[in-house]
Amino acid sequence: MQMGRRAHVVIGAGYGDEGKGLMTDHHGAPAGTEAIVARFNGGAQAGHTVTTPDGRRHVFSHFGSATLAGGATFLARDFACHPQLFLKEAALLQRAGSAKPVVYVDPRAMITTPYDMLVNQLLERRRGDGRHGSCGLGFGETVQRCLDPVHALHAGDLAKGDGFLLHRLERLRSDYLPRRLAALGARGPTEEENAMIQSDALMEDFVAAAAQFCAMTSPASPSILLDYRRIVMEGAQGLLLDQVRGEFPYVTRSCTGVRNALVLAREAGIATLDLSYCSRAYLTRHGAGPLARELPAQPYAGIRDDTNLRNEFQGALRFAHLDLDLLAHSIQSDHGDARGSGIATTLSLALTCLDQVGESVAWYGVGEKHEAAPEGLLDAARHALTPVALYASHGPTRDDVSLA
């Protein structure tokens, strides 16, 4: 086992949907099966799109975004695993040509149950126009529940057998769930919602999925990362949704920047992190919450997004012009968290979706609006951040990424 290794870290610099899947694939794919991707935050609500040069496409949630290139996955301690959605994604990956991806799981990783999803969805529906922008997949509720030792459920618990899991789920249903709803001030479940909550089939399906999840993954500590030649740490969501720095309550229950990556690096024995912050050439937000200078429609005719479709909980994708002042402040603040950590870092920036903006792109910088050819935006970003590397993506695949 080698010490003193380095890893690429892919971090979203906006509200999510910045091209993290693309850049993870870009960094990991050249190493093929000698690469491993560590998912260090988030859970099933992540949706990282990868399109391969040969035309295959997959939206990654549980698996690392270098999987289609043969890379392995490590689900770290701060990742929330959803066994049922893991199995659905595995089936989709098989159809995309990745029949048996290698997946390791930290036994400390959190486990999302159907009851976390039910509470999440019930509460978000009750909020009406005051929704927080949740995806409805139970990530925040999973984090909250796992703070309670009596009701916490982690990946290592899944191997304790059906009896243990059924007992734990019954306690969640009869004890934790009513208390959680009361604490949130949510009015009681509707008849339809209550029928779902009381369904024994819901518990049985979860237990069966948990057994399959265990069969398809291997427990491992962070040191497994050192068994691979190329290490990529893949973040979820973006810096503007960080639970500490984002605008509460429109945040995720996660540290979306470098903090979790530093913990993982320390545990694995990784000495250097090459931080690659990602942003589209324009700003998006999918879900409720503030969006400064929001535009009434998409700003460029060439924008196409087949991943972030309108849905019940997040509505339609929202748009604004990129604000380089905000981008630089967010990245520099996050990068500052690495100071004094004992782990060396470098900072690079990736601007994606440049092929979608046409011949002229608008952005804000130094408090003013600018408009120029895409190369002008790249120059302005380089000046605002002075990254060690500036990546430009003019298409959806790793072959469309180049150093600017």
Topology adopted by domain 110-218: Adenylosuccinate Synthetase, subunit A; domain 2 (1.10.300)
> What are the structural domain ranges in the chain?
5-106+228-403, 110-218
pLDDT tens for 316-344 read: 899 999 999 999 999 999 999 999 999 99
3-state secondary structure of 346: strand
pLDDT tens for 2-45 read: 446 999 999 999 999 999 999 999 999 999 999 999 999 999 98
DSSP 8-state secondary structure symbol assigned to residue 244: T
The CATH number of 5-106+228-403 is which of 3.40.50.300, 3.40.440.10, 3.40.50.11900, 3.30.710.10? 3.40.440.10
pLDDT of residue 2: 47
Is residue 1's pLDDT more than 70?
A: no
pLDDT of residue 197: 81
pLDDT of residue 312: 67
At residue 332, what is the residue type? Q
Position of tokens 């509200």?
15
**CA 248 remoteness from chain centre:** 18
pLDDT tens for 54-106 read: 999 999 999 999 999 999 999 999 999 999 999 999 999 998 887 789 999 99
Residue 3: burial class (beta carbons within 10 Å; 0-12, 13-18, 19+): exposed
Is residue 136's pLDDT more than 80?
A: no
Question: What is the pTM for the complete model shown?
Answer: 0.94
Q: Which of 342, 353, 359, 344 is nearest to 391 (CA)?
A: 353
Phi and psi torsions of 93, nearest 5°: -65, -35
Count, residues in the chain? 404
The CA distance from 343 to 338, in Å, is 7
pLDDT of residue 123: 76
B/e letters for 142-168, b = 16+ CB within 10 Å, e = fewer, are bbbbbeeeebebbbeebeeeeeebeeb
Q: Which of 43, 109, 41, 42 is nearest to 77 (CA)?
A: 109
pLDDT tens for 95-113 read: 888 778 999 999 999 999 9
